[in-house]
Amino acid sequence: MYENKNEPIATKRVFLTRLIGSFLTTLGVIVVSLGFGTWGYHFFGEMSWIDSLLNASMILTGMGPVTPLTTVSGKLFAVAYCLFSGIVFLSLMAIILAPISHRFLHSFHLPDDDEGGVA
């Protein structure tokens, strides 16, 4: 997916394409995760759709729940969704930062301008 250390650094166009791809991937994961959380809060927590969406988005962003849960199944779902949201957050940060960190680290393997050889 990325160039190795012996290849020249990617052009700005390729880099921006990678950034856009990472952003779209994270956006897709967020939409699916938010849909899953909304559905779970609605069916297990017996909340309205809008309250379910609000709680799912607040948990997914790490802010915490808004509406108190009254059912046991809703509370168990909330526990699972909170753990899931933490993993999703870390994964999304890795997806977004991958092209940036690769480009930064790849720059260490570029030859110096005053040297003719390969670093």
Is residue 39 domain-resident?
yes
Q: Exposed, middle or buried, 33 (CB in 10 Å: 0-12/13-18/19+)?
A: buried
The reported pTM is 0.78
Find out whether 30 and 37 touch, Cβ atoms under 8 Å.
no
- What is the token pair recorded at 4? 């190795």
Name the nearest CA neighbour of 10 among 96, 97, 95, 104: 104
Is residue 116 domain-resident?
no
Radius of gyration of the chain (CA): 21
CATH of the domain at 51: 1.10.287.70
What is the average per-residue pLDDT within 73-89?
A: 95
Q: Look at residue 66 and give its three-state secondary structure.
A: coil
Is residue 95 domain-resident?
yes
Query: What percent of the chain clears pLDDT 90, i.e. is strictly above it?
Result: 65
Give the pLDDT band of residue 32 (cuts 50, 70, 90). Answer: very high
Is residue 94 domain-resident?
yes
Is residue 3 domain-resident?
no
Q: What is the pLDDT of residues 36-68, one digit of tens each?
A: 999 999 999 999 999 999 999 999 998 988 999
Is residue 27 domain-resident?
yes
Domain count, the chain: 1
Q: Give the range of the structural domain holding residue 20, as residue numbers without chain letter.
A: 12-106
